[in-house]
Amino acid sequence: MEQPTPSDQERTWAAVAHLAPLVGYFVLIGQILVPLAILLWGPKTPFVQAHAKESLNGQITYTLYGLGVFLLALTVVGIVLALPLGLALLVLVLWNMVQGALAAGRGEVYRYALILRLVP
């Protein structure tokens, strides 16, 4: 059975769920709060909810990865590894956010790579 085509408003909300965490990085845990707010108070359509959950799962996971890189940097060996790992994490985060927003704009579902699915 084919899914109904999401409306322009639904596609916009879904794209915002992926890109708004960029603004949230300037506020303490804002990158998690923005997709959570869209999940809780945004449109309750399955399309928007799926994108908001995916973005929220990604942001939680990437925050945990970032904390791990930071803790690694506190060790002598980690100083050498932290910079390349941090840059790789940054590229992964930006890649998934942009790809998720582009997929939302096309009306498609997108799954982030290398994340934990904590919010079902």
Q: Is there a domain that residue 111 lies in?
A: no
Q: Is there a domain that residue 84 lies in?
A: yes
- The whole-number pLDDT of residue 79 equals 77
- The whole-number pLDDT of residue 81 equals 85
Q: Is there a domain that residue 113 lies in?
A: no
Q: Provide the number of structural domains found in the chain.
A: 1
| Domain that residue 85 falls in | 8-106
What is the spatial distance between Cα 68 and Cα 53, in angstroms, rounded to a whole number?
23
Give the pTM: 0.88
Is the model more confident about 36 or about 77? 36
Contact criterion met (CB below 8 Å) for 85 and 69: yes
- The whole-number pLDDT of residue 26 equals 79
Q: Is there a domain that residue 115 lies in?
A: no
Which of 13-17, 32-36, 55-59 comes out lowest in average pLDDT?
32-36
